[in-house]
Chain A
Amino acid sequence: MAQSEQVGIIGKGIVIKGNLTGAGDLVIEGKVEGQIALKNHLTIESTGNVQADIQADELTINGEASGNIDASSKVAISASAKVAGDIKAPRVVIEDGAVFNGSIEMEVKLPEDV
């Protein structure tokens, strides 16, 4: 995959208000308010601050995020992250030290007799 073309970076000094959609990977080091819908991997770096509902395939949070998260494969919340909102994803990882407030729905297949 042509990484250099597919990766978008929102730098530290940048503030985006509005909707952000796309198919490539995205790294957020700055601030985003609004809505994010990505088909691939979204990374919120430790300097990043996202106040948005997020839709992505895979999401890695090292910074701050508030809003509802809907990931089609995985959400990883690292030790330095602060997250508030509801998460819906088949796989959710929360590291020791992370701050998280909200609910998690993993779409677990329940046994039929429950």
Chain B
Amino acid sequence: MANTVIGSSIVIDGEISGDEDLVVQGTVKGKISLKESLFVEGSGIVEADIETQNVEVAGRVTGNINASEKVELKSDCRVVGDIRAPRILIADGASFKGNVDMDAKGR
């Protein structure tokens, strides 16, 4: 399946929704809601509330993240916002400011 890639020179201001993986190398402002995984790469800048299954951040994210499965903050990422997910990984070197809610209920 062809992945969706928002290239490094692309800027989207608005809402993105869908049921496949999304790779952000450019800039997205607004809202992202996906049924699959979101990858914010090193050059990616996201200023949006995010609702997905999995999120992997290597770039910059400002906004609240709500993942049904897993959030992974890679080293060198910069994230500001609240994260809510059952599994959250933060790598050494990552910069993060916000609340973490792992919702341990039901486990």
Q: Do A and B come from one complex?
A: yes
* A19 proximity list for chain B (CB < 8 A): 11-14
**Which residues of B have CB within 8 Å of A14?**
4, 16-18, 20, 22
- In the complex, whether A30 has a CB less than 8 A from a CB of chain B is yes
Q: Which residue of A lies closest to B23 (CB)?
A: A9
By the criterion CB–CB under 8 Å, are A5 and B8 in contact?
yes
Complex: chain A residue closest to B29, CB-CB: A18
Contacts of B59 in A (CB 8 A): none
Most chain A CB atoms below 10 A, which of B8, B9, B11, B19: B9
Smallest Cβ-Cβ distance to A9: which chain B residue:
B5
Check A30/B4 contact, CB under 8 A, given A8-B26, A23-B9, A24-B9.
yes
**B98 adjacent to chain A (CB < 8 Å):** no
Interface check B1, CB cutoff 8 A: yes
Q: Least Cβ distance of B89 to chain A in Å?
A: 26
> Interface residue count for B (Cβ, 8 Å)?
25
Whether A9 touches B4, Cβ cut-off 8 Å, given contacts A18-B30, A24-B9, is: yes
Known A14-B4, A18-B30, A30-B4; judge A8-B10 contact (CB<8 A). yes
A21 & B15 in contact (Cβ 8 Å cutoff): no
Given contacts A12-B2, A16-B12, A18-B12, contact A5 B20 (CB under 8 A): no
Beyond A7-B5, A8-B5, A9-B2, whether A20 also contacts B10 by CB under 8 A is yes
**A-contacting residues of B (Cβ < 8 Å)?**
1-22, 25-26, 30
Task: Enumerate 27 A-B pairs (CB-CB under 8 Å) in ascending A order.
Answer: A5-B7, A5-B25, A6-B8, A8-B6, A8-B9, A9-B2, A9-B4, A12-B1, A13-B19, A14-B4, A14-B17, A14-B18, A14-B20, A14-B22, A15-B16, A16-B12, A16-B14, A16-B15, A17-B14, A17-B17, A18-B14, A19-B14, A20-B12, A22-B7, A22-B11, A22-B26, A26-B7
